[in-house]
Amino acid sequence: MNLPNKLTIMRIILVPVVVAVYLCVPENMGIVNEATGLGLRNILVLIIFIVASITDYFDGMLARKHHWITSFGKFADPIADKLLVNTVLIMLVWSHSANVVAVLIMIARDLMVDGLRMSAATSGEVVSAGFFGKLKTVLQMVAIVLLLLNNWPCALIHVPLASIALWAAAAASVYSGWIYFQKLKKYVLETM
């Protein structure tokens, strides 16, 4: 097994670790910032999330640079990414830190796009992420970091940047999902 695949597996293993930390560490334990109520739990989850996100960057970079792209990597890497991001978003909804509608929109879009990609793949069509799909991912990452930081430092000046980033990610999700649908609907609708 090559290094990029090991990094992908490590990212998958970190998902239950995120859940365990989020569910087992009390929210207000070790308050780091009194003004925002930022506690140790969110700091720990943020550190795990950042480490996992870094492994995502390196596994892709190493796979491309050294031509270590494998069928397993093509299959597992996007699953690992979505498991990590969607799990953290669900935990944030569970703790009332993220808006459930915005998160449901993003998860529904991911399911739809994955279904479209699978339909296209059966016809030999491989579809890479477009600009708005990448923008959605960046906005999700920014929103998750800000939500885990309880919107610090923006909370100090009463700017809800975490919520703005979350809804921007939801909007980018809808738009990129629509682009994928327009591009790939022929594979789904051809047998109707």
End-of-domain residue from the set 97, 131, 160:
97
Which of 57, 81, 97 terminates a domain? The answer is 97
Q: Calculate the alpha carbon distances from 103 to 111, 135, 144, 173 in Å.
A: 12, 16, 11, 10
Q: How many domains does the chain have?
A: 2
Predicted local confidence at residue 60, as pLDDT? 84
Contact call for residues 127 and 117 (beta carbons, < 8 A): yes
pLDDT the model gives residue 71? 81
Same structural domain, 62 and 113: no
- In the chain, % helix, strand, coil (3-state, to 5) comes to 75, 0, 25
- Chain segment 141-172, per-residue pLDDT in tens: 999 999 999 988 887 888 999 999 999 999 99
- CA 137, CA 63: separation in Å to the nearest integer? 20
The residue from 65, 97, 129 where one domain ends is: 97
For the stretch 173-191, pLDDT in tens is 999 999 989 888 887 776 6
Q: Can you give the CATH number for the domain in which 43 is found?
A: 1.20.120.1760
Supply the pTM of this predicted model. Answer: 0.89
**DSSP reduced 3-state for 97:** coil
Residue range(s) defining the domain that contains residue 189: 99-192
